[in-house]
Amino acid sequence: MFRSQLGPDQREAAISQLSSESFDVLVIGGGVTGAGAALDAASRGLKVALIESQDLAAGTSSRSSKLIHGGLRYLEQYDFKLVREALHERELMVSSLSPHLVKPVGFLFPLTEKFKERTYVGAGLALYDALRGFQRALPWHKHIGQKQIHEIAPSLRPDLITGAIKYFDAQVDDARHTMTIVRTAARHGAVIATRVSAESLIREGKRVVGVKAKNLVSGKTINITATATVMCAGIWSDELHAKFDLKPGYGVTMSKGVHIVLPGSAIKSNAGIILKTPVSVLFLIPWGDKWIVGTTDTPYTGDRAEPFASREDVQYILDQANRVLSPKLKVEEIIGVYAGLRPLVANNKNSATTKLSREHTVDRPAAGFVSIAGGKYTTYRVMAKDVIDRAVIELRAIKPESVTEKLPLVGADGYFALEQQVERLSQTSGLDAETITHLLNRYGSMISELLELIDENPKLAVKIDPDLLYIKAEIQYAASHEGARTVDDVISRRTRIAFEAQDHGVHLADEIAAIIAPVLGWSVKERKASVTAYEELVDRELEALDQLLEEHEAINS
């Protein structure tokens, strides 16, 4: 009955529905929590709409460490409940909810002392494994000696590292995962519209009954009515609470997390590496033929829309990694830098309406209005369930419980069988096995939709760049099926060309615009404007990176 496709026609229909129909639940925010909330509500049989002022996952949800993990460092804080919950969610994602997107990844925990440290860390990792319960999607940890270390990770300093413990977590393309949750919500009837900004609340007495929103494409105002409005605004929470004249039971403090991207040659290791630092942990994460290294955890008060790394951020990452690496990482090797902002919750103890749960907070500052902030990417599904559980009370009727624990995302169905058919799919499609595997790990069983596009236009089977795995069909599909509306959407979030290509994909911007222009109905002027907007974004990011390099050279000269 419903389709998961997000495209221009779907958005046009959604805008019409938003202004002419009434909803049980309206979700504000298209990050992972908002996406999860829309899916949770829609899969309960509720009539749901989701609006996002920018692109899906445009903020924090596309700038994470790309890890689905239990939070090893929380064990030292004795937060066993949070770790157990996160590990349970990790196992669900790897095994049933999104196995095409969430993949196991091995990490080495290097040891510098032979007995005491090994015993302490080993006990922690044994507890980490035990807390996941009886589910066993990922292998148990194992101890590794110095000789094996050199075979697995030649870059780890042999004069310092006496051994290691290998354990497993999982990784994900966060922006793709968030978008896929939204597509799954659409598949269950949710009305989805990006580039729609909530401007003010509609009230009947003290009760919130919807929002006045602005269609940022047309400039027109839409009145959206809903019995319950759910705000999942993350780092924008304080700003929207103030805009809506609400007094929330919590405030959001922003913490900046910076990552650097390096070529595969920079670190010689067949596994990821985790290092304990004076303030937190540092991950060296394999990402295709690249490495992502981070992260920082520093207070931030700047521009929410475009957080940039400072020289101190990058230097901290290099210094911590270089404690154990030989040869050391160099600033000149850095391909890209990205910064994300964590919404950390500070609760107002005087608020009777605040419910603190699992490091996230669900709040009801007004009748008919519920908000949520905090938490971690891995536990998005639990957060979504909690906020919809609270929103359902506003409906004043008995409604079904959440079913998302048993609801695979679109593309998961049949994925494990398709994994066994790579060679056959390669023969029938004419694509090489590497490309088929790449597509399966991004689209799962929806690979059939990509292959149909190629059948209609064989030119779409060609790679967009010889150094990248993405094919042109994926670019068209991003606009026709995945809600991409700009060159930036495609390069930064539907693909990860923005930090995988040496020049952030600027050399591909024109060609990408040419592919998506017919889908989006662009004029020549609109096409050029989208390319220019992306080039200007990259210029601002490169300016920050160039400044880092110049400062580094000045310090060393």
Q: How confident is the model at residue 205 (pLDDT cuts 50, 70, 90)?
A: very high
Domain shared by 80 and 165, yes or no: yes
Indicate if 228 and 135 belong to the same structural domain.
no
557 belongs to a structural domain: no
Query: Does 366 have pLDDT greater than 50?
Result: yes
* Counted domains in the chain: 3
Q: pLDDT tens digits for 541-551?
A: 877 667 666 66
User: Which pLDDT value is given to residue 77?
Assistant: 67
Structural domain includes residue 477: yes
Largest Cα–Cα separation, the chain? 72
Spatial separation of the C-alpha atoms in residues 276 and 109, rounded to whole Å: 9
In 78-133, at which residue ranges do the beta strands (DSSP E only) sit? 103-111
Q: What is the pLDDT of residues 424-478, one digit of tens each?
A: 999 999 999 999 999 999 999 999 999 999 999 999 999 999 999 999 999 999 9
Cβ count near 349 (within 10 Å):
8
Structural domain includes residue 552: no
pLDDT tier, 357 (very low <50, low <70, confident <90, very high otherwise): very low
Calculate ∠ Cα 217-540-266, nearest 5°: 120
Is residue 158 domain-shared with residue 295, that is, in the same domain? Answer: yes
Contacts of 213 (CB under 8 A, 6+ apart): 18, 51, 196, 197, 198, 199, 221, 222, 223, 224
Q: What whole-number distance in Å separates Cα of residue 125 and Cα of residue 546? A: 40
Task: Report the C-alpha gap between 461 and 466 in whole angstroms.
Answer: 12
pTM of the prediction? 0.94
> Residue 554: its pLDDT value, please?
63
3-state helix, strand, coil in the chain (%, to 5): 45, 25, 30
For residue 279, give Cα distances in angstroms to 95, 295, 309: 33, 11, 18
Report helix, strand or coil for 195. coil
**Distance between alpha carbon 263 and the CA centroid of its chain, in Å?**
22
**What share of the chain in percent tops pLDDT 70?**
94
159 and 265 both lie in a single domain: yes
Is the model's pLDDT at 98 over the cut of 90? yes
Answer yes or no: do 358 and 443 share one domain.
Answer: no
**Cα distances (Å, whole numbers) of residue 426 to 430, 442, 451:** 6, 16, 11
How many angstroms separate the Cα of 45 from the Cα of each of 27, 35, 39, 189, 392?
A: 15, 16, 10, 8, 11
Mean pLDDT of 375-396: 95
Residue 352 has pLDDT above 70, yes or no: no
Residues 372 and 386 sit within 8 Å (Cβ to Cβ): yes
**Domain match, 242 and 259 both:** no
My answer on whether 353 and 459 are in the same domain is no
The CATH number for 31's domain is: 3.50.50.60
Final residue of a structural domain among 406, 436, 452? 406
pLDDT at 129: 78
Per-residue pLDDT at 58 exceeds 90:
yes
| Pair 209, 195 in one domain | yes
Listed range (76-80, 102-106, 143-147) with the worst mean pLDDT: 76-80
- 184 inside domain: yes
Assigned domain for 517 exists: yes
**CATH no. for residue 138?**
3.30.9.10
**269 assigned to some structural domain:** yes
Contacts of 414 (CB under 8 A, 6+ apart): 444, 445
Residues 208 and 77 grouped into a single domain:
no
**Does a structural domain hold residue 443?**
yes
Final residue before a domain boundary, out of 361, 380, 406? 406
Mean pLDDT for the chain?
91
| Whether the predicted pLDDT of 73 surpasses 80 | no
- 369 with 318, same domain: the answer is no
- Residues 301 and 298: their CA atoms lie apart, in Å, by 10
Domain C-terminal end among 322, 342, 362: 342
pLDDT band of residue 356 (cuts 50, 70, 90) is very low
Instruction: Decide if 536 contacts 530 (C-beta within 8 A).
Output: no
Tokens of 126: 């044994």
461 and 541 assigned to the same domain: yes
Which domain CATH number covers 460?
Answer: 1.10.8.870
CA dihedral in degrees (83, 85, 91, 97; nearest 10)?
A: -140
Secondary structure of residue 418 in the 3-state scheme = helix
**Residue 229, in any domain of the structure:** yes
- Over 70: is that where the pLDDT of 120 sits? no
Concatenated DSSP letters for 347-380? Answer: E-TT-SSEEEETTEEEEEEETTEEEEEE--GGGH
The answer to whether residues 34 and 28 touch, using CB atoms and an 8 Å cutoff, is yes
Domain span at residue 222 reads 8-61+176-249+348-406
Residues 220 and 358 in one domain: yes
pLDDT tens-place string over residues 232-257: 999 999 999 999 999 998 999 889 99
Is the per-residue pLDDT at 15 higher than 80?
yes
